[in-house]
Every structure is written in C-alpha cells, then in structure tokens.
Amino acid sequence: MSTVRKTITLTSNQSEWVKSRIASGDFTNDSEYIRDLIRRDQERQRKIENLQAALDEGLNSGVATDLDMEAIKQKARQEASKRESQEANHQASKG
C-alpha cells in the first residue's frame, strides 16, 4: 500500500497526549498513532452505517402486528418436537 506524507497541526495539549501514548509503548511513533485513530474512526463509521441500514430496514418493513403468544409457543413446541424426533432417528440409525 502506498503512503502519502501529510502535515498536521496539533495544539500543545494534543501533542503532549500523542507523546504520552507513544511513551506508554502502545505506539512507536506519531504516524502509527494517527493511523490507528483513522482505522478506529473508519470502523466506527461502518458500524454507524450498518446500524442506520438496519433502522431503515425496520422502518420500511411496515406496520407491526400484534403477537399471538399462543401461536408462537405452539410453533416452538412443534419445532422442538421435530428436532427431538430427528435426533432420536439419528441415534437409532447409529445404534
């Protein structure tokens, strides 16, 4: 990956902060620290975009309907029973 040289201006407090991060041993130089900040910002932005897409999908999915808890429980029981039958058949075929 090619690199581009940039010049940035920091306040004295910011410069001292960067120096302290390097002195702590977490980073070897200013550039490494700044690149890490940029990577973290990019990841944060990706997460925000993914969250926004999920929110948009939810908002565009239509009006929510009331839940029928008895129907949900019945479906869950049926699926559990089906899994149990499949597991029993699998065990019987092994033995």
Full pLDDT tens readout for the chain, 95 residues: 899 999 999 999 999 999 999 999 999 999 999 999 999 999 999 999 999 999 999 999 988 888 999 999 999 999 999 999 998 888 888 76
Question: Is 56 within the bounds of a domain?
Answer: yes
Q: What is the pLDDT of residue 95?
A: 65
Q: Are 17 and 28 in contact (CB under 8 A)?
A: no
Question: Is 21 within the bounds of a domain?
Answer: no
Question: Is 43 within the bounds of a domain?
Answer: yes
Whole-prediction pTM value? 0.62
What's the chain's length in residues? 95
Write out the residue range of the structural domain in which residue 54 sits: 29-61+68-94
Q: What is the pLDDT of residue 4?
A: 93
* Number of domains composing the chain: 1
Question: Is 3 within the bounds of a domain?
Answer: no
Residue 43 to residues 40, 50, 56, 58, 87: CA-CA distances in angstroms?
Answer: 5, 11, 20, 23, 42
Question: Is 79 within the bounds of a domain?
Answer: yes
The amino acid sitting at 84 is: E
